[in-house]
Chain A
Amino acid sequence: MTTFEEKLQELIEQCRETIESVYSECNANAPNFGVSQEDFTGSISGSVSRFLCRGEEDLPSVSEVREFIESIKSDDLFLAIACAHGNERAWWEFDHQHRGYLERISRHLASTDLSAQEVIDHVYVELYGTRVVDGVRMSKFATYSGKGSIRGWLRTVIWHALVDFHRASHDEVSLDGMTENVGEGYTHSTFKNQDLGGEDQMIDRLSHEKYKKATLESIRSAFASLDDHEKLLLLYYHSEGLKLREIARLAEAPASPLRDWFQRRSKAREKNPSARIHESTIMRWLDKTYSIVMERFCERLTSVHSLGEKEIDICLELATRDLADPDVYKNLASNA
């Protein structure tokens, strides 16, 4: 019986030509990094297993693996492999090209009680690796796959190091407190209590409860029925406070899956697949998602809770007022 490792090996073998071509190019660009083709192939094989294999029964096709290899930031990966092996020239190159950037990121993120330099030192030690397992030094560089740019990866490493530093210096700290103290943070806006005047008096407590329950259940159900990318869009916009241009940045890459999911049936996309994603595009995606939620919310209130048109309006109005109570609709996303 063929094991998962054997199947994976077979896939890699079928892509050998692609790997060799990428390796030759990298080696020509940096011949003194001392990275062997075997090491390079080993690193790619690990990444294929991590990113593309969902289990023994769900292996990627050869063309998917080839596409994956071609999409890798190969020069960055080559540098990382060499640094993981402790190659002096590669470390010099890394230090020369990226230290300034690391310092700027760290200074930008570190709050007053955290020393940016301390974080940089800590990250350098992690990148080099001080732990030795079975005679092999565990360098953090070995965890970089080349799927994203090395600078993007370094940003993430610095961010995480800062969170670790913050946790180490604050024994008991909430998740929000921890993450809001690192970086630019965000503000939770509170919902304004709307005064609906006399209408409020018309609705007695019992029916208020009934509507509240129906609203909560229906909103939950409508949100849960969304696809994950739609949920994530709403969460980024409302919960994380990302601006439209920031979400656009996330979907900017021509191959971005977010872009694919939202524009799957778009004629404009078919005509120009790499067209820029503008803020107005994100607004349209949001509008579409709100429409889906509203449709399913109303449908649910009608079919499951047997409410009429007027009652649906009452539910919505009550819901806007109830949002002033932070406990009423808590954990919608985590319960979805």
Chain B
Amino acid sequence: MNNKGNNREELIREVLGGILRQSTSSVAFEDADHLDNDVMAAFVEGNLSEREAKPVTTHLVDCSFCRHKSAELVRLDLRFAEEQIEAPSADSEPAKVSDVLSGILGKIFGAGEGAVFAHQDDEAVEKKEKDEEE
């Protein structure tokens, strides 16, 4: 490419870069249909096929909120990529998730365990009832 071509290419980079840095989107957070977390996460990890990724790419071009979110997620992905996945220690006792969740829900709603946690399995309920009878 001759000097003139090079110079033009430099200028077009500057112009385009400047324009895109200044560009904003009119898409409002509340009004727009945004990509859901599942689709977004799969896109950021490069796990979508061409067919799946096409509408996502089109959306990201138009929606600055989702684009910014995806960019932040890429940064996060890289930041935590080198973290080792800790293997669960075999000797630790399984904590009852009902206890964990009841604590959280109680903290948020100020309610007791019984009011906020209703999924206990039948076996657990039967055992509790039996204990109460005894």
Interface residues of A (CB under 8 A from B): 50-52, 54, 60, 64, 67-68, 71, 86, 88-89, 91-93, 95-97, 100-101, 104-105, 108-109, 121-122, 124-125, 128, 130, 137, 143-145, 147-149, 152-153, 155-157, 159-160, 163, 167, 175-176, 178-179, 182-184, 186, 188-191, 215, 219, 223, 228-229, 231-232, 234-242, 245-247, 249-253, 255-261, 290-291, 293-294, 297-298, 312-313, 316-317, 319-320, 323, 326, 329-334, 336
Q: B114 on the interface (CB 8 Å rule)?
A: no
Determine whether the beta carbon of A152 is less than 8 Å from that of B44.
yes
Q: Which residue of B lies closest to A145 (CB)?
A: B38
- Determine the distance from Cα of A71 to Cα of B53 in the docked complex, in whole angstroms: 14
Main DSSP-derived SS at the B contact region:
helix
- Determine the distance from Cα of A236 to Cα of B78 in the docked complex, in whole angstroms: 15
User: Chain A residues with Cβ under 8 A from B69's Cβ?
Assistant: 156, 159-160, 163, 179
Determine whether the beta carbon of B68 is less than 8 Å from that of A179.
yes
Interface residues of B (CB under 8 A from A): 4, 8-9, 11-29, 36-55, 57-58, 60-62, 64-65, 67-69, 71-81, 83, 85-86, 88, 92, 94-98, 100-101, 104-105, 107-108, 116, 119, 121
- Determine the distance from Cα of A52 to Cα of B72 in the docked complex, in whole angstroms: 26
Determine whether the beta carbon of B104 is less than 8 Å from that of A179.
no
Q: Which residue of B lies closest to A254 (CB)?
A: B46
Given the known A-B contacts A130-B105, A157-B37, A228-B61, are A178 and B29 also in contact in the complex, defined by CB atoms under 8 Å? yes
Given the known A-B contacts A175-B65, A290-B13, A334-B62, are A88 and B20 also in contact in the complex, defined by CB atoms under 8 Å? no
User: Chain B residues with Cβ under 8 A from A60's Cβ?
Assistant: 51
Which residue of the partner chain, among B14, B41, B67, contacts A239 with CB atoms under 8 Å? Answer: B67
User: Chain B residues with Cβ under 8 A from A178's Cβ?
Assistant: 29
User: Chain B residues with Cβ under 8 A from A239's Cβ?
Assistant: 20-21, 23, 64, 67
- Determine the distance from Cα of A333 to Cα of B63 in the docked complex, in whole angstroms: 9
